[in-house]
Amino acid sequence: MLRRTFIAAVSGLALTLTAGTAALAEHHGAKAKMDIVDTAVNAGAFNTLVAAVSAAGLVDVLKSKGPFTVFAPTDEAFAALPAGTVEDLLKPENKDQLVAILTYHVVPSKVMSADIAGAQADVATVQGSNIAVDATSGVMINDATVVMPDIIAKNGVIHVIDTVLIPAS
């Protein structure tokens, strides 16, 4: 019974991710015409992330030349945060904290999954702290799982993750 429940939950998650990131699939392995922000907007699965990037004043940065690697949490990942967290972060008085969280999801270079396959590393983020990357069995970024890698944008790459990364205080 537990196994069936787990399989059903995983299947449900896979269907949600597939439906929510279908627009990204066309960028997977293709030469992209859109930047990271437009790719995220077009996908429809990153409404919270896009709103946060806008509230933090980071749209122009993520539309610039780059290259960037963005570990992009889905709307479901943001919804899993404690109640009220997103609303609090979007308040103008919490902009510095929001910027720190968002830039913790960005590496200032283009890193494809093949570049790190089989490796473990601590990688510097734009925020200034390191994230732990473990690509020895799937790909983990700290406690987040990469659920869709290598979404090509004209100024970098997006790796879809299932958890919002929070830097240590």
In angstroms, the CA 120 to CA 60 distance is 31
Which domains does the chain possess?
2-161 (2.30.180.10)
Outline where the chain has alpha helix (H). Answer: 2-20, 22-25, 36-43, 47-55, 59-63, 75-79, 85-89, 95-103, 113-116
CB atoms within 10 A of CB 66: 20
CA 20, 25, 28: angle at the middle one, nearest 5?
A: 140
pLDDT tens over the chain, length 169 residues: 333 332 333 333 333 344 444 444 444 444 568 999 999 999 889 999 999 999 999 999 999 999 999 999 999 999 999 999 999 999 999 999 999 999 999 999 999 999 999 999 999 999 999 999 999 999 999 999 999 999 999 999 999 999 999 998 7
